[in-house]
């Protein structure tokens, strides 16, 4: 089951609350904005998600603000000492930065999965 909903470049993981008997989601990765939505049915959930994104984009437009991106393109990865050393050695052997090595590894992983 795909539990990721996407719309206009935004995505959110969908969850279910047994207590409230509804589906809900929060657009993750935003630091300055909170976008949440819910619905009792999948149809209601999709509509509320799209309405929430459209409202956010309209608000940004009306206030001359660029919409916040979910993922900035940088992250802090803790590899552990052994894996970090192996990655650094491999990056030296390939004459690339360790950052480039990790980007290549993630890209290869995502192509195969």
* Tokens linked to 96: 């690339």
Domain contains 76 = no
Residue with tokens 């004459």: 95
What does each of the 113 residues of the chain score in pLDDT, given as a tens digit?
469 999 999 999 999 999 999 999 999 888 888 999 999 999 999 999 999 999 999 999 999 999 888 888 888 899 999 999 999 999 999 999 999 999 999 999 999 76
What's the pTM? 0.73
Let me know whether 14 and 57 are in one domain: yes
How many structural domains does the chain have? 2
Residue 96 and residue 51: Cα distance in Å, rounded? 44
Residues 12 and 53 in one domain: yes
Residues 12 and 45 in one domain: yes
Q: Are residues 47 and 11 in the same domain?
A: yes
Q: Is residue 15 part of a domain?
A: yes
Q: Helix (H, G, I), strand (E, B), or coil: what is residue 4? A: strand
Residues 6+ apart with CB under 8 A from 47: 39
33's CB contacts (< 8 A; 6+ apart) are: 27, 56, 68
What is the span of the domain harbouring residue 32? 4-62
């Amino acid at each position: 089951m795909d539990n990721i909903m996407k719309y206009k470049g935004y995505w959110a993981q969908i969850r279910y609350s047994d207590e409230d008997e509804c589906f809900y989601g929060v657009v993750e990765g935003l630091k300055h904005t909170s976008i949440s939505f819910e619905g009792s049915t999948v149809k209601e959930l999709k509509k509320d998600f799209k309405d929430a994104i459209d409202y956010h984009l309209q608000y940004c437009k009306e206030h001359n603000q660029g919409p916040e991106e979910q993922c900035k393109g940088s992250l802090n990865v803790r590899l552990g000492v052994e894996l970090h050393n192996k990655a650094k050695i491999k990056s030296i052997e390939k004459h690339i930065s360790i950052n480039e090595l990790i980007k290549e590894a993630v890209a290869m992983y995502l192509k195969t999965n």
